[in-house]
Structure 1
Amino acid sequence: MEGMDREQLAEFLKSRRARVRPADAGLPDGGRRRTPGLRREEVARLAGISVDYYARLEQGRGPRPSRQVLASLARALRLFDDERSYLFQVAGEQPGPPAGPSGVVSAGIRHLLERLDDTPAFVIDAKYELLAWNRMAVRLMGDPDAHGRNMIWNLFCGPWPLDDDSPPEAQAFAAECVADLRAASVRYPDDAGIRSLIARLRAASPEFVRRWEEHRVCVRRTTLKTLQHPVFGELVLECQVLQADEQGQRVVFYTAAPGSPTASVLCGLREAVVA
């Protein structure tokens, strides 16, 4: 790699800092701000470095940051993968694997969930951990905190685990989830949360082990899902999956064909939420 370009590094850090809202980084607003984005001391705290060191980097007079510091800055500034690569390159380093999946849901995504009062929607990370959801999702699926937030763990080790008698659609969904988790384990090889989940599943579920050893790799997108609701019975839902950011978050929407029985159920759930 070529040497460090202090001027480009300084300008890039300043521009990215101005883009990040405090709420997106999990910080309180802290009242009126003279300039948009995070303060220098907030970036330094999020990255685990001193304010003086970060200030010198923005001023183009700091020492060459280590790979660990660059990775911490990329997380603090919520950089996309291409921005993270650029950060490493202007600092004279070869980009490593992308940062692990983020657990902070942006304020914009949370606002979107709240506005969807007729559509069950939720956010998951790369290991299928539920990070946020709206009231329609609770009405449809119940309180996530009541039965655990990890969807893959619930699928294989929850109260009603997958087995040979599960319907074909559930079997296909499980295969997709396991293949998706394998893809995440390759994309984020150093993420402790993903490694821990896989180890727990391998220890607890022979069914997971069987599917894991098939070595399938895919990323889940739009699919149909049949849900057995305790009150309304069988519901046929169209599961739409959208990428929320480049750190492994996805927004999942459940919709139904217009005029279908499931659409009528969702309409009734919306009226209960709005009431």
Structure 2
Amino acid sequence: MSLVVFGSANADFVFSLPQLPAPGETVLGEAGAAIPGGKGLNQAIAAARAGAVTRFCGAVGADAHGAMLRATLMEAGVDISGLAEVSAPTAMAAVMVDGQGRNQIAVSSGANRLARAGAVPVSPGGLVLLQMEVPAAENAALIARARAVGMRVVLNLAPAAALPGLPDILVVNEPEAAFLAGLHGCGADAASLHAALGCIVARTLGEAGAELAGPGLALHCPGFPLAVADTVGAGDAWCGALAAGLLAGLDWPAVLRRANAAGALACTRMGAWSADARAISALAG
């Protein structure tokens, strides 16, 4: 079985700052050249490095940033036959990171707005991983198509928005869980969200690890305390490793432990970096 990731691909400009700017404030810092990013691309690379056969579907522009993103995916072993080249410019993100690894991110969506679910292959027994940086209507169409043929759907509700459809597995962090809880009038923990929505819910908890709730499931897996350089991409590494673990047929405790390991390792370097399977296995034990 293989994994299909449908989502965003960005050129990220990372600014290292002494502190994150307040409204109206200018903070001087340093930035390097554009690096690959976008939740879809990050998660596809994370899944491939964690051992999953992975295809990425999305859109980039016919520009230097698009060429850079294509090359990055190919170097990671990701199939890019579903990556369209469109007339809009490749998406860009300004990522501001302070000395404690906290971040603020602004995104110009560009080509991501032209990502189309109709180009995504679906097949029984496979797994599709989505996020919320492409049009919600496209995610909704893909969720319906995938579930109709018996393909498992994992949706990372990032950035937070109303559900475009009901996935098999929903992944949220704490702010995203709180957003959903407000919409559905329930608690923000995984068990309450599962009871309200009906799907399996995984809630990431930063250094505290992650919790998961579903039919007959109530799990908490502790995190791995490591020195934090930058939290950018940690959630994407977590999602990619989760998908890879599911495809490998691991049980839920092992899936969560490997996802926590990948997320922790992603925090040890600047940028949206994903650990490989060897590093994940070494930390997860």
TM-score range, shorter chain: under 0.3
Larger Rg: 1 or 2? 1
TM-score by length of 2: 0.25
Higher helix share: 1
TM-score by length of 1: 0.26
Higher strand share: 2
